[in-house]
Structure 1
C-alpha cells in the first residue's frame, strides 16, 4: 500500500508493530491520498486489517518471495493484471471486490497456474464512504481465503470528486504453472469437445437487474467466484486440456471465436445443449440480447480431447463450481477452401447460424 508502519527494534528483542490506526472520517477526502498520516490511517484501517498477512503487514513498497518456494510448485511463472469498474459497486451475488479477486485468480488458473499472490490498487473518488471501502476489502479477503491466495501489496490513490465513478480497483496476480500442463488458444484439434461449467450469462443479467433501469423482476445472482479449485480438479484427471479460458466480457461466443481463430479450426455449437437459467433466457428475449455474449464471472470454456471428455465432465460435476457442467459443442476441421476460425450454431429449428465475435457492447461497465 506504499506506506510503512513505524516499528521499534531493540537489540535482542523481537520486532513489535503497534496496533493499526483507525480512520475517524465518514467519507474519503483528498488528504487520504496525500501520502501522510491520513493516508496511512486509511491503509492500515481498511486494507491491512482486512487482508491480514505478514508480507503485507510489513508495508514495504514491494512483496518479496523466495524463488525456491515458487520453483517447488512448477516450472513457469504466470503473471496477470486487470482493472474493475463495475456499476453498481454492489450487486446480487457479489461486488467489485469479489470481482477483482475472482477475476485475477481465474485469469491465472486458466493457463494451468496455481494462483499464489495478488496486489490491490484502488482509485477512490473523493466523498466515497469509508464503510464502502471496508465492505469491499472484506469481500476481497473472503474470496482470497476461498481461493487460497494472499493479497500482499498494493497502492491507494484519491482523485477529486467527479474525476472517477466512486471506486476503481486494479488487481495483479502471480502463480506457478504445473509442469505437466500446456494450455493455449492455439491447441484446439478436430474431434475435441467443448465444455462449460454451468449456466451462462448470470453475471451480465444480474448487473442489468441491479441497475434498475428496466422494469425486470427477476431473481438473478452473479456467478462471481474463483475457479482455481475446479480447474485443479479438471487437470488432475486430464493434464492434456487443450484450451481453457474464463468467459468474462464478450461472453462464451467471444472466447470460442478466439479459440477457433487461433487454432484455425471450426467450432460447432448445439443450441439445445446451452445451459441457461430461465430468468436469464427470459430477460434476453425481452431485451433482444444474446446470452452467448453476456458476461460471466464464474464460468469457463474448456476444449478437451474427446477421449477425456467424460472424465473431465465427471470431475467438474463433483465440484461446487461445476455441478451444471455441460458439453455444448465440438471442434471440426475446415474443409479445403472453407473459411477458418468460424463458430457455427446448430439451432433448435434445425438450421445453423454463424456466431461472430462481439461487436460493440451489450452492457456498459460490466466488470
Structure 2
C-alpha cells in the first residue's frame, strides 16, 4: 500500500476513500484490465456465443498458504477447472473478498499476486469484484468467492447422460495430493520428497483435449469428495456401473503413507489440479497421450471402464471387489 498501511481496517470495507485506496493500490495493481479498470458496478463484455457456462465457488481453506499455492491460487484454479469440466473455455471471473479487521496487508498482497499469476496462466481476466471487512474475531483472515463465465462451443456436449457401456475412465494424474499436503502442513509432518498440493489450472489441457479428441463423454474435477465422490456421481447420473482397477489408480507413495497414517482413503481425498474423463474406448489412447504431454498431466492413466448396471466397484490389488459408498461428509474440514 502506498500509504504504508500494514493491516486491514474496518473502514477499508465501508465504501469511502479507504476502500478506493485499497482497490487502487492493491487489487487494481495486480488485476488491472480494460473491463476492471472502469470500476463500474458490472463488467460489460461482448460474448460472441449464445452458449455460456457459469459457475461460482467459495474458498475458506485453512491454512491460507500451503506448499504449492495459497487461497488465491486455489480460488482461480477451482473456478477455472469447474468451467473447463463443462467443456467451456473460461474467459472471465469475478472475485469477492471478505477480510477480517487486522489482516496483514503483506499476506493479502501475496494472495492477490498469486491470483493474478494464475489467472494469466489460465488466460482468464478478473473483471469485477467486491471487498467487505468484518470486525476482528468475526472472520478468519480472509474468505474468497469467485464466479466465472466460459464459452461453450456449439459442437461440444459434455454430459453424464452421454456415458455408455464400454467407455473408459481416465484420471489426469496422481490423486489426493492436495488434501495430503494440507494434512502434512497442519500436522507439521516433514515428507521426503516434500509434498506439494496439486493445485493447478487445467483449462489449456482440457481445451486441447476437446479440440483434438472426439467422443469425450463427461469430465469432472475431483475436489471435495475426491475421485471416488465424483465417479459415484457420474455413475448415478448416467445410470451405469463403473469398474475401477485399484492397481491402475495413480497414488504417490508419500500420499499413500499419509493416508494410511491417519486412516483416510485416497479415493475420497481432495485434488485441486486433476481431471477425470470418461471417453469412448476407441479414443482413450489418443486422449491419454494428449493429457500425458501436458505439464499437469504427468502420471495420467486409464483407471477403469463402464459396464451395464449401477454403482462403482473397485477391483482391489488383492483380487477382491469392493462397492464404493459416498461418505457422509468430508474427512477434512476447510480443505478448499
Q: Name the TM-score, length of structure 2 as normaliser.
A: 0.97
Shift of 1:23: 4.3
Matches within 5 A, 1:204-353: 204-211=179-186, 213=187, 215=189, 217-218=191-192, 219-334=194-309, 340=310, 342-353=311-322
Equivalent in the alignment of 1:151: 126
Shift of 1:177: 0.4
Matches within 5 A, 1:164-183: 164-183=139-158
Deviations along 1:250-296, whole A, 9 cap, x unmatched?
00001000011001111000000010111000111111110001100
Does the 8 Å contact 1:181/1:240 carry over to 2?
no
The answer for unaligned runs of 5 or more in structure 2 is none
CA–CA separation in structure 1 for the residues paired with 2:143 and 2:215: 37
Q: 2:22 aligns with which of 23, 39, 42?
A: 42
2:26 maps to 1:51:
no
2:74 maps to 1:99:
yes
Equivalent in the alignment of 1:22: 2
CA root-mean-square deviation: 1.2
Aligned residues: 335
Specify the SS of the correspondent of 1:57.
coil
Bigger Cα Rg: 1
Q: Name the TM-score, length of structure 1 as normaliser.
A: 0.89
Worse overlay, 350-359 or 27-36 = 350-359
Shift of 1:66: 1.6
Q: After TM superposition, what 4+ stretches of structure 1 lie above 3 angstroms from structure 2?
A: 214-218
Deviations along 1:93-134, whole A, 9 cap, x unmatched?
000000000110111111110100000100001110011111
Shift of 1:34: 1.1
Shift of 1:215: 4.6
The answer for unaligned runs of 5 or more in structure 1 is 1-20, 335-339
Does the 8 Å contact 2:52/2:149 carry over to 1?
yes
Specify the SS of the correspondent of 1:257.
helix
CA–CA separation in structure 2 for the residues paired with 1:177 and 1:239: 15
Does the 8 Å contact 2:224/2:330 carry over to 1?
no
Equivalent in the alignment of 1:111: 86
